[in-house]
Amino acid sequence: MLISFGLLVVSLRYVTDFWLLAFFFSLQPQLGVVAALGALACLALHRSTFGYVLLVVSLLLCGHAFWMQREFLPPSDVEAPADATRFRLLSFNILGNNFANVGRIIDMVNASGADIAYLFESGPLLHHLSDLKAVYPYRIGCGVEIETCDLMILSKYPIEAPRVVSLSDIRANRFAVATIRIGGRPIEFAAIHLTKPYFDDYHTTELRRAGAILRKRGGTLIIGGDFNSDTIAPDMQRFLRRSDLQTAGAEPATWPVEAGIFGIPIDHIYTSKAIIPLSLTRLEDDYGSNHYGLVADLAIPPLP
């Protein structure tokens, strides 16, 4: 009964995008594996047609979850030309009460080699901004464009046309976009921190509003941050298709840190097809956060 109920909940994604079930949609691979193991245990106790049906459905749901992740992977046969400009992006939710690890986080960011860094729930860094300014002279957040110290973009290069937006009335100023020139080419860098998917329809609404803003700005886009959902969630898939985006590589689990590789990839870095992803890795240390950070190495060909 438990296995049947779990499979039913996950299967509802093919019928409805109801917000109360949204979190379970992100858990489809994990629930599929657990259900398959449970079905095998049932079959070991008693061979029955229904047990085999549960096993087949579990494997189908699990397999389809991995297939959906493949849709947004960058092409494996595309290589960056020799004259492409290579750069690095860091994205990390440091946790809003993580004051004990501020020094370690600052040292990590400065030594990361990132050209652009997205930091979320960055309040603990408020009184330590001078320690970041030598490496990152340009920023959004913590007194620049917005007074609050929550979402922050750090850059080694000048920031043009910055815009900070509140996507809903749940949290303010958790979406920022700006133009930064890499190798002489203007790129739209967007940082986003979405509301949890089980807070009514806010997650879907925020994604829709962010997408509308980004399509209006146009140009080559890189968006990263804490999306609070896996790429396979229905509203996430709609957002990626409408914006014609790809992941920066095979996505590692980032939350919760206690689950390690068995967790959920809810932190993402997505790019336009004009960007060539070189690698996507997870920070080895969580630095006291409940998320792991991501580092993407990217390349952009020169203008023709």
Q: What is the mean pLDDT of each run of 10 residues along the chain (304 residues)?
A: 87 80 84 90 90 92 89 89 95 97 97 98 96 97 93 97 95 96 95 93 95 95 97 94 96 94 95 96 97 97 82
**What ranges do the domains of the chain cover?**
2-71, 85-300
Q: Which helix (H) or strand (E) holds 176?
A: strand 175-182
Q: Return the C-alpha torsion angle 45, 48, 50, 55, nearest 10.
A: 60
Provide the pLDDT for residue 88: 98
- With residue 54 as reference, give the H or E element that holds it: helix 49-71
CA 149 → CA 62, 108, 121, 126, 206, distances in Å?
A: 40, 19, 7, 6, 20
At residue 218, φ and ψ (nearest 5 deg) are 70, -175
CATH class of the domain whose range is 85-300: alpha beta
Q: Which of 177, 123, 127, 183 is nearest to 149 (CA)?
A: 123
What was the pLDDT predicted at 21? Answer: 77
Q: 188 - beta bridge partners?
A: 179, 221
